[in-house]
Structure 1
Amino acid sequence: MRASFVDLQVFLHACECGSMTAAAERACLTVAAVSARLRRLEETAGVPLLRRHARGVEATAAGEALALHARRVLQEVDRLEQRLRAGRPRRATLLLANTAALGAPLTPLAGWLAEHAGAARLTVRESTSEATVRALQAQLADVGIVSDAVSCEGLRVQPLGPDPLVVVTARGHPLAHRAQVCFSEVLEHEWVAWGDDTALGLHLAMQAHRLGKPLRRRFTFTRADDILALVAQGWGLSVVPAAGLSQQEGTAALVSVPLAQPWAQRTLLVCMDARSSDTAALAVFEGVRRLWLQRVARTAPAYAAQR
């Protein structure tokens, strides 16, 4: 019988929980995905492995036999992975984060990691939310900070807090006194734009492309403080994460206007592979969560400047 380790783990979750819904929550999958995996497992086995009834599911005699062997197999795989990890040099834990996350100081993670993961090393790189989720699902990265606009199926997820995108302008700009503004209107004005090599710059360029309008770039920079300084001087407008405004100096000359589009109303999430038991990755995941809780408790985000 051929079965993937993931299918075996999902099957054990169903046996232990007695419910497809509970098994899906434990596996960080949708109920439909769990059901499909279990059907595929039964087709491979050639016999029913679960009895389905109104109260949930329970293992058949064949299912109980499979569950016994599946536990042994997964335990052996876990022991093998631990031995292999112990025998190779520790690589740096890779944290991928979008532009908004990198706008907040991440340096306190160094102390947290040293305290909770010993000699672990950390590499931080910028990435779009979509690319980060794909990297985590493929086990090419360890921890990610993403927007809730992307699906995080198969990942362990914790919300960090709201992170809406807002338009920033100088006080004398035509859009400065609007209650909110549509992205199509914003595209009619000159921009101090994010570079396309930044996660936010790529995201905004894609949204403009969907409307069939280019960004009218007067200047292009990759650093938030450079962009905000030029906007304050009246060289154009830009779109930035609202929470990031509280991290920048010199924002008194700026006005922030909410974007009307649903894609601009975001929540930041920290996520990692739900199957990972890596000590350093778990420490980074928890460290990011705690860092954001402290940040929210310490400062109220400056979502709008005083008009």
Structure 2
Amino acid sequence: MRFDLVDLRLFLHVIDTGSITAGSKLSHLALASASARIRGMEGALGVPLLERLRAGVKPTKAGLAVAHHARLVLQQIERMHGEIADYAGGLAGRVRLLSNTAAITDYLPQALADFLNTHPAIDVDLEERPSHVIASQLLDQVADLGIVADSADISSLESRPFRRDHLVLVVPQGSGFGRQRQTSFAQALAHDFVGLGEDSALQQHLALQAGRLGLRMRTRIRLRSFDAVCRMVEAGVGVAVVPAVAAERHAGAGTLRLLKLSDSWADRQLLICARRFEQLSVPAIRLVEALCAPAPAATGKKPKR
């Protein structure tokens, strides 16, 4: 039984994408070659690794076992490369990072830019996911690191503090909230909403919270950024739930109000998580160290209006 690293990477790409075609593209292989490699793995093991479906493929139980060990093998090789490169003075590698919407929009851009500029030979694969999905995928070793809200079940993971994050309700001036400074999400659901796309981790989180209340969000329009959401709220289209740090950028013009949400899940700690920090590759450890460093202090200067 002989598998090379190309086989293992290909198989993981196929599992992660649910498609041999997509997996072959990520592996930079022709489809025929990728299919032959997968069949060769199945022949060597004497058991099917993939269930072929009309809409793609999914792993069999044996396939899940192979994927688990393939991730371990590749992580160890990447860790070895990182350590050797570190000794040579040129740390190199790739880190797979999953993040929820708040972190990926408002907290990670500058932190990752600083890290990538300091470590030019380390690349980061960054993808957005809801917090509960990130926790599950870290356990399945789909990624090295994840940034989640503390409302997610991370009892089987290790975690470190990243940032505090507060979700607020933004409403147009003159809305039906009077002089309220605080409201509940249940009360807010009586109004029309402006939201992000359905694939947004935050939007999925809000839909989940509404479902737990037995209610539904009436979303009139979906946009791609918090900036666009806030502008639409200013125009009177509806209300929206966004991170306070994003809302405060738009509140100065006087056409937008911020209401504190009384729900416990709206005031949260963002955490950086891993299955085991000690098992991470050296590049991933360096990224954790950079992200967990204290955020730069504010200058105290007010932004120009």
- For the aligned pair, the TM-score class normalised by the smaller chain equals 0.5 to 0.7
Give the Cα–Cα distance (whole angstroms) in 1 for the partners of residues 152 and 273 of structure 2.
Answer: 12
Change (3 A) 1:103 1:211: same
Q: 2:76 aligns with which of 64, 73, 81?
A: 81
User: TM-score scaled to structure 1, two decimals?
Assistant: 0.63
- Distance of aligned partners of 1:266 and 1:299 in 2 relative to their CA distance in 1, 3 Å threshold: farther
Alignment match, 2:136: 134
> 2: distance between equivalents of 1:168 and 1:83?
45
Residue correspondence of structure 1 range 113-192 to structure 2 within 5 A? 113=116, 115-116=118-119, 119-175=121-177, 177-192=179-194
Q: Which amino acid aligns with 1:221?
A: L
Counterpart code for 1:227: V
Q: Which has the larger radius of gyration?
A: 1
2:93–2:283 Cα contact (<8 Å) kept: no
Gap regions ≥5 residues in structure 2:
1-71, 83-91
Whether the 8 Å CA contact 2:173–2:255 is kept in 1: the answer is yes
Confirm or deny that 1:207 pairs with 2:202. no
Question: In 1, are the aligned partners of 2:251 and 2:257 still within 8 Å (CA)?
Answer: no
- Cα deviation digits, residues 134-177 of structure 1 (max 9, x gap): 12222211111110111323433221232121110111111252
Between the aligned partners of 2:219 and 2:189, the Cα distance in structure 1 is 10
Q: Distance in 2 between matches of 1:130 and 1:280?
A: 25
The separation in 1 between residues aligned to 2:196 and 2:137, in whole angstroms, is 23
Q: In the alignment, does 2:298 pair up with 1:298?
A: yes
Question: Kindly tell me: are residues 246 and 96 of structure 1, through their superposed partners in 2, closer, same or farther at Cα, counting changes over 3 Å?
Answer: farther
Equivalent position SS for 1:169: strand
How far apart, in 2, do the equivalents of 1:251 and 1:101 lie? Answer: 25
- Superposed CA RMSD: 2.9
Distance 1:259 1:279, change over 3 A: same
CA deviation vs aligned residue, 1:103-136 (integer Å, no higher than 9, x gap)? 22524424424535x5221111111111111122
Is the counterpart of residue 109 in structure 1 residue 104 in structure 2? Answer: no
Give the CA deviation at 1:251: 6.0
Match of 1:30 in 2: none
Question: Which deviations, in whole Å up to 9, do the C-alpha atoms of 1:40-69 show, x marking residues without a partner?
Answer: xxxxxxxxxxxxxxxxxxxxxxxxxxxxxx
TM normalised by structure 2 equals 0.63
User: Which residue identity does 2:193 align to in structure 1?
Assistant: W
Alpha-carbon offset, residue 250 of structure 1: 6.5
- Identity of matched residues, %: 32
The aligned counterpart of 1:37 is none
Q: CA deviation at 1:248?
A: 5.7
Q: Which string of whole-angstrom CA distances, capped at 9 and with x for unpartnered residues, describes residues 251-306 of structure 1?
A: 6421111111112221111222324231111122122222x622xx2268x9xxxx
**Residue matched to 1:245:** 247
Of 237-246 and 107-116, more deviation after overlay is shown by 107-116
Cα distance change on mapping 1:250 and 1:99 into 2, 3 Å = farther
1:256 aligns with 2:251: no
Amino acid at match of 2:267: Q
What amino acid sits opposite 2:218 in the alignment? R
Q: Which runs of 5+ in 1 are unaligned?
A: 1-76, 303-307
Q: Residues 110 and 165 from structure 1, CA distance in 2 versus in 1: closer, same or farther, beyond 3 angstroms?
A: closer
- In the aligned structure 2, how far is the partner of 1:209 from the partner of 1:114? 42
Question: Which residue number corresponds to residue 281 of structure 2?
Answer: 278
Q: In structure 1, what is the Cα distance between the partners aligned to 2:198 and 2:78? A: 42
Partner of 2:85 in structure 1? none
